[in-house]
Amino acid sequence: MYQSNLGFDAAGLWRKDHDHFLHPYTHFDSFGREGSLVIVEGEGCHITDASGKRYFDGIGGMWCVNVGYGRREIAETMAEQAMRLCYSNTFVDVTNPPAAELAARLAGLAPGSLNHVAFATSGSCAVDTAIRLAHYYQSRRGQGSRKLVISRKNSYHGSTYLGMTVGKRDGDQSQHFKYAENLVHHLSAPYPYRRPEGMTLEAFSDFLVDEFRSKIEELGADNIACFIAEPAQASGGVTMPPPNYLPRLAELCRGNGILFIADEIVTAFGRLGHMFASKDMFGIEPDMILAAKGLTSGYIPLAATIYSDQIHEVISAPDPDAWFTHGFTYSGHPVSCAVALKNIEIIEREDLCANAPAWAATSNTNWRNSPISPLSAMSVAAVS
């Protein structure tokens, strides 16, 4: 157990942060006046600020600390791996044991034929990787005109240039930024609570499917590379789609040569009670699944773009000039991958996937209307 020793200079830290750290999503007006809450410790599902005040962290950091704070065995795994091999270049044809083991582990856990993995260090970069991979795959199979991306309103897919273009929450689109034009087309959000008044859930599902079909006709299937969707929209309000919506969209994708990318950056690794929610909760087998956050429970950055045999067969087909010119200095980082392996071991050993919905059920049996959704339950279930 970590021994707390709260000897922090709270005012000094506040000042340094205020004067020098540009935070993600800074709201300059309030930040200028109030600055930051300085968090100094975490244990289980609680965090503590520099003044010693303790908080219940229901959201698990940023939906990521799935196994809870302060796991000594994860810290020890990090230290051991950092001493053995702190870094390894994985470009072209070099690898390291944790990266190879984790790729195989994810292939075993992911549904269907999702047997191949590209690593990154953030969810945003996993999204970029997926879309670049979709373009590359479509081109390598002789469908180079397929470049367009279909996404949904109310979605969040990260904050790189591409991620911000793909996502679309009202508050995110600032006139002071630039977004790629004519690349991404947004459909209505599958947000049952906001469906037109008097419309049944089934009719709402029909409406969304028809809208998708019309969009394909309007753009031309031959111009569309992929469709990207969070199975449950997370940052857009933690919303569950209407029944059968995802399987019906997956079928339309399959019938039109459009790759289905499931952005499970929030929902994977237990947050909805399954390692991956796509198949186990929503009955779909996407062409790619994206994971980050709960993959390492936030102990260290790591993301994965997990993709199908079908894609791999096409992109790895013999061609002496073909290079997949994409990847990062830290792709397959040995310390991150070692942490992910330990984290998965903990989730399985403690049966946390079963524990999360069980915990949610004890707090409120109707999760569609629950103030503490299954998305929040995971972190609490891990440590209670």
Ligand X SMILES: Cc1ncc(COP(=O)(O)O)c(C=O)c1O
Q: For ligand X, which residue of 263, 306, 338, 347 counts as binding (CB under 6 A)?
A: 263
> For ligand X, which is the closer residue by CB, 41 or 128?
128
CA distance between the termini of the chain? 16
Does 172 contact ligand X by CB under 6 A?
no
Beta-sheet strands, E only, within 140-206: 148-152, 184-187
Within 308-337, the residues that bind ligand X by CB under 6 A are none
**Helix intervals (H) in the chain:** 10-20, 28-34, 60-63, 72-84, 97-109, 123-140, 161-166, 201-219, 245-255, 277-280, 309-315, 334-349, 352-363, 374-383
* Contact yes or no for 239/189 (Cβ under 8 A): yes
- Min dist. Cβ of residue 64 to ligand X (A): 8
> For ligand X, which is the closer residue by CB, 50 or 266?
266
Does 265 contact ligand X by CB under 6 A?
yes
Q: What is the CA radius of gyration of the chain?
A: 21
Closest-CA residue to 261 (of 271, 246, 274): 246
Does 230 contact ligand X by CB under 6 A?
yes
> For ligand X, which is the closer residue by CB, 123 or 270?
123
* Contact yes or no for 295/117 (Cβ under 8 A): no
* 3-class DSSP state of 190: coil
Q: For ligand X, which residue of 156, 191, 212, 260 counts as binding (CB under 6 A)?
A: 156
Residue with the CB atom nearest ligand X in the bound state? 123
* Contact yes or no for 334/86 (Cβ under 8 A): yes
Does 266 contact ligand X by CB under 6 A?
yes
Q: For ligand X, which residue of 208, 259, 292, 377 counts as binding (CB under 6 A)?
A: 292
Does 122 contact ligand X by CB under 6 A?
yes
Does 164 contact ligand X by CB under 6 A?
no
Contact stretch for ligand X (CB under 6 A) within 120-128, 178-186, 245-253, 317-325: 120-128
Does 124 contact ligand X by CB under 6 A?
yes
Residues forming contacts to ligand X in the complex (CB under 6 A) are: 122-124, 127, 156-158, 230, 234-235, 263, 265-266, 292
